Amino acid sequence: MISTEAQKRRSALLVGCGTLLGAAAQILIKSGAGALGPHASILQTAVGMITIPALFFGYALYGVYTVVLILALRHGELSVLYPVIALTFVWVTIASALVFHEEMNAAKLVGITIIMGGVAVLGRGDKSDKK
């Protein structure tokens, strides 16, 4: 399938926005897992995925995220689109500091900056390679 430049750009944007969904899903699942307790069995976990709202919506959001990802992957290169998913690490780290009051420190800030730089290089590379 031949994809136009506009379709490729839209795909990259879609993956980028998708990572926000993925991060929100992870935060919901993490807060729901707290209600489950550290020693929950597989069965308790499976029941919890339906009865604990944060877990239910977390996994539902993950489903939506997967659909977005598949739609995005229709166009453009996998080797460009897939590493963009690393942005999820950035959003989860920021959201964990805000929601769970996890410590924000120099190492995390450096990590966030380097990952965003890497994703930016990816976006630029896609264009310059396609002359």
Partner 1 sequence: MTTPFSSMAWIFLCGFVGSFGAVFLKSGASRLQLNFKAIVSNWRLAFGIGMYLLSSVFFVFGMRRGELSVLYPLVALGYMWTVVWSRIFFGEPLTKAKFIAVGMILVGIAFLGLGSQK
DSSP character string of 68-110: HHHHHTTSS-HHHHGGGGGHHHHHHHHHHHHHS-PPP-HHHHH
Smallest separation, CB 53 to partner 1 (Å): 21
How far apart are alpha carbons 67 and 61 in whole angstroms? 10
Closer of 54 and 69 to partner 1 (Cβ) = 69
Q: Does 98 bind partner 1 (CB under 8 A)?
A: no
User: Which tokens in the block code for residue 126?
Assistant: 């896609």
User: Pseudo-torsion of CA 5, 6, 9, 10, nearest 10°?
Assistant: -150
Q: Measured between alpha carbons, how far is residue 58 from residues 19, 20, 31, 81 in Å?
A: 14, 13, 9, 23
Q: Judged by CB under 8 A, which stretch of 14-22, 46-54, 114-122 contacts partner 1? A: 114-122
Smallest separation, CB 45 to partner 1 (Å): 10
CA atoms within 13 A on the CB side of 50: 4
Smallest separation, CB 40 to partner 1 (Å): 12
Interface map 66-85 toward partner 1 (x if CB under 8 A): x--xxxxxx--xxxx-xx-x
Q: Judged by CB under 8 A, which stretch of 17-25, 46-54, 101-109 contacts partner 1? A: 101-109
Q: Which residues bind partner 1 (CB under 8 A)?
A: 1, 66, 69-74, 77-80, 82-83, 85-86, 89, 93, 102, 105-119, 121-122, 124-126, 128-129
